[in-house]
């Protein structure tokens, strides 16, 4: 059947960036399953999957703005080194969690300077135009319970 709102969709994908580098692929894990029309996957991908049928293969180009967003330079900040435990090893490229109130934010350490640390709060995929080579494996109507929970139940998941 075709992908429409409230269907449970399984699809394989190979995700590449604008240079053709493979970022992620579902081949070894098995297909990704999601509830269509419930904002479970990035908006540009969900919009383009709409209406595809079981067995369909397609190359879907998703611009950064409809994927993980554009990079925002105001999300890059310099914080004093002593905001981190003295014994914490700070390695550029690794991620740290903010300790403030509200929802935790993941920051990537850009640079460690003598007295400060440069943190980047952008999603690692922000600013990237993405390409998904997809194959729709299965489409079925979601159950009432799945719709109530807002996610797909497959296997023995039962919460
Ligand atoms: Zn559930």
The alpha carbon of 6 and the centre of ligand 1 are apart by a number of angstroms equal to 14
Percentage of the chain exceeding pLDDT 90: 82
Report how far apart, in Å, the C-alpha atoms of 1 and of each of 8, 142, 143 are: 11, 12, 15
3-class secondary-structure state, position 8:
strand
CA of 5 to the centre of ligand 1 (A): 18
What percent of the chain has a predicted confidence (pLDDT) above 70? 95
Please tell me the distance between residue 150's alpha carbon and the centre of ligand 1 in angstroms.
7
Cα 112 to ligand 1 centroid, rounded to whole Å: 42
Whole-model pTM?
0.79
Write down how long the chain is. Answer: 159
Separation of CA 61 and ligand 1 centre (Å)? 31
**Could you tell me if 143 and 153 are in contact, meaning their C-beta atoms sit under 8 angstroms apart?**
yes
Q: What is the mean pLDDT of residues 2-22?
A: 96
Q: According to the model, what pLDDT value does residue 67 have?
A: 95
Q: 153 alpha carbon to ligand 1 midpoint, in Å?
A: 6
For residue range 142-158, what is the model confidence (pLDDT) as tens digits? 999 999 999 999 765 55
Q: What's the mean pLDDT in 74-81?
A: 94
Distance 46 CA to ligand 1 centre (A): 21
Average pLDDT over residues 18-46: 95
Tell me the CA–centroid distance for residue 3 and ligand 1, in Å: 21
Is residue 33 pLDDT above 80, yes or no? yes
Residue 102 has pLDDT above 80, yes or no: no
How many angstroms is it from 154 CA to the middle of ligand 1? 9
Cα(48)–Cα(63) distance, integer angstroms: 12
């Amino acid at each position: 059947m075709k992908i429409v709102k409230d269907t449970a969709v399984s699809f394989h994908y190979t995700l590449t960036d604008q240079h053709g580098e493979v970022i992620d692929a579902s081949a070894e894990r098995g297909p990704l399953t999601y509830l269509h029309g419930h904002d479970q996957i990035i908006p540009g991908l969900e919009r383009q999957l709409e209406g595809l049928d079981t067995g369909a293969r397609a190359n879907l180009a998703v611009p950064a703005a409809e994927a993980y967003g554009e990079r925002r330079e105001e999300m890059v900040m310099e914080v004093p080194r002593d905001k981190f435990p003295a014994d914490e090893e700070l390695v550029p490229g690794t991620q740290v969690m903010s300790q403030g109130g509200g929802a935790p934010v993941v920051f990537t350490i850009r640079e460690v300077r003598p007295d400060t640390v440069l943190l980047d709060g952008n999603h690692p995929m922000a600013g990237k135009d993405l390409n998904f080579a997809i194959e729709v494996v299965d489409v079925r109507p979601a159950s009432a319970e799945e719709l109530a929970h807002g996610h797909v139940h497959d296997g023995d998941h039962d919460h």
